[in-house]
Amino acid sequence: MTQRATRLLRMLEELRQRRGAVRGAQLAECLGVSLRTVYRDIEALRSQGAQIDGDAGVGYRLRPGFVMPPLMFPAEELEALVLGARWVASHCDPELAAAANRALSRIAGVLPGERRLEIETSGLFAPYWQQRAPEPWVPALRRAIRDGHAVRLRYRDAEGRESERVVWPFAMAFLDDMRLIAAWCEQRGDFRHFRADRVLDLEDTGRRYPQTRHQLLRRWEQLRLRRSEG
């Protein structure tokens, strides 16, 4: 599903949940887009059959009785979505876990009855037996990766030595027994990997690093390939 299609579904969901009219500025704030984008998306939804009353400056309201078009997934795709969301809910920080549960509920809410029942009665689970308190800085790290921000972290290595450094995080791997952070280290001038359970503290500097996340990923993957071939 494209980013625009996802946004249109979110807009329909926002309108469906409101009893009265909602102003365009409120929709823009909820969806994180410009007011012009809201107006354009409203017209796009209307052209696709959505029964939306209202105008700019007055507000918009989804006409009662309008049914959102059902999402159709084969059984295997539904099972993958359920298992993936449940894995995130049991293995990740509370913020991401809650987002996974909301996403699954949103998908179930627009599925036809038979498909919705498959989600609600799914026998696929992803329990995490080694429960431990999640590191409080993980949400900040995820946002830094998403926004391309440098972070300052305090780290203890395998020998117990502590250091403080500024790194450019661009990926985090969720392994069975640990989480691994991939980043460019300003202090070392090279790529480094950090175990999440050895990070003592992490702070988002709010400073964008000079390369994009995609550029760092590509350089990192090329380096790994060269090392594996050598």
Domains in the chain: boundaries: 3-62, 75-120, 138-229
Type of residue found at 215: Q
Alpha helix ranges (H) inside 62-193 = 75-91, 94-109, 113-120, 138-147
The phi, psi pair for 229, rounded to 5°, reads -75, -30
Is the pLDDT assigned to residue 68 strictly greater than 70?
A: no
Write out the two tokens for 213: 């996340």
Is the pLDDT assigned to residue 2 strictly greater than 70?
A: no
| Residue 132: Cβ-neighbour burial (10 angstroms; 0-12, 13-18, 19+) | exposed
> What is the model's pLDDT at position 73?
73
- C-alpha distances (whole Å) from 141 to each of 20, 203, 208, 217 are 38, 8, 13, 16
Comparing CA positions, the residue from 196, 190, 185 lying closest to residue 140 is: 196
**Does the structural domain 3-62 have CATH classification 1.10.10.10?**
yes
Q: Which residue has the tokens 């392994």?
A: 175
What does the pLDDT look like over 163-201, one tens digit per residue?
A: 999 999 999 998 877 889 999 999 999 999 999 999 999
Q: What is the mean pLDDT of the chain?
A: 88
What does the pLDDT look like over 31-65, one tens digit per residue?
A: 889 999 999 999 988 887 888 999 988 899 988 76
Comparing CA positions, the residue from 218, 99, 203 lying closest to residue 170 is: 218
Strands 190-195 and 59-62: unpaired
Is the pLDDT assigned to residue 117 strictly greater than 60?
A: yes
> What is the model's pLDDT at position 212?
92
| Predicted model pTM | 0.65
Pick among 2.60.40, 2.30.30, 3.40.1000, 3.40.50: CATH of 138-229 = 2.30.30
